[in-house]
Amino acid sequence: MANETALTLAGVDALYGDSQVLHGVGFSVRAGTVLALLGRNGAGKSTCISSIMGLLAGGCGRIALFGEAIERASPERIARLGIGLVPQGRRVFATLSVKENLDVAKQPPRHAGCAAWTMARVFELFPRLSERRHQAAGSLSGGEQQMLAIARALMGNPRVLLLDEPSEGLAPQIVAEVSRTIALLKAEGLTIVLVEQNLRLAVELSDDAVVINTGHVVFAGSTSALRADPALIEHHLGMH
């Protein structure tokens, strides 16, 4: 599995109306690794995630999940094939209980040899959600809603997990908890694409990185190679 490619993008363009946001984006994600997708605000990171999930019409290029083309599949089919999404802003079902949020996302595991994500397992990962299982999701704190968003994605038993800005708007203590969760999922062999403004968090957790600027890939390689290029980081990410 270590050398297997979980997710591939090649020549991906994306448009919002008449505006082209992605220009021939291409990169691959190795199975069982974390890839950090980095860039300034408006660079095209979330558009990349939307393209992978089939949420944008009118783009072109190739997107493959473990070798299977998915660029023309519906978001529902892409989810069933094994891509889970934790969207930016969490987007939990506010009027449903924690348990109901998890129930609606439940899917069977897609391949043997991996422990299935069940309600019991998710509650073991996030004990706070277990305590609030009958509480309306909209009444949870921001940190608890982020936990629920991750738990809901895991209930789909994904082969690849897309995390779009998981630390956004959270207190440092909760960011540390989210970081520990991502590290645990990585240790279990889950393939993760991490979109993150917190560069330190992203670098700590990832094996590889892709940097996007104005819809173009300007770096794709190991996280250690990125860390060794402070000029690139300063120029494209505004950090030094």
What's the CATH number where 60 sits? 3.40.50.300
Rounded (10°) angle between helices 142-154 and 172-187: 10
Instruction: For tokens 């473990």, name the residue.
Output: 66
Domain termination site, one of 104, 125, 156: 156
Q: For position 239, what pLDDT does the model report? A: 60
| 65 and 15 share one domain | yes
Domain count within the chain: 2
**DSSP annotation of 115:** P
Kind of pairing between the strands at 191-195 and 34-38: parallel
- Say if CB 180 and CB 85 are below 8 A apart: no
Task: Indicate the residue among 156, 171, 200 that finishes a domain.
Answer: 156
Q: Report, as an integer, the average pLDDT of 63-70.
A: 96
Full residue range of the structural domain in which residue 118 is found: 90-156
Domain finish residue from 139, 156, 173: 156
**Per-residue pLDDT at 96:** 95
> In whole numbers, what is the pLDDT of the chain averaged over residues?
91
Average pLDDT over residues 119-136: 94
Do 56 and 167 sit in the same domain of this protein?
yes
> Is residue 220 very low, low, confident or very high in pLDDT (cuts 50, 70, 90)?
very high
Say yes or no: 163 and 149 in one domain: no
**Domain identity same for 16 and 64:** yes
* Cα angle 216-221-226, degrees, rounded to a multiple of 5: 90
Does one domain contain both 148 and 125?
yes
Q: Is the domain of 52 the same as that of 152?
A: no
Clarify whether residues 240 and 139 are in a common domain. no
**Model pLDDT, residue 240:** 45
In degrees, rounded to 5, the angle at the alpha carbon of residue 89 between the alpha carbons of residues 85 and 90 is 50
Q: What is the pLDDT of residue 30?
A: 97
Residues 131 and 173 in one domain: no
Same-domain check for residues 174 and 75: yes
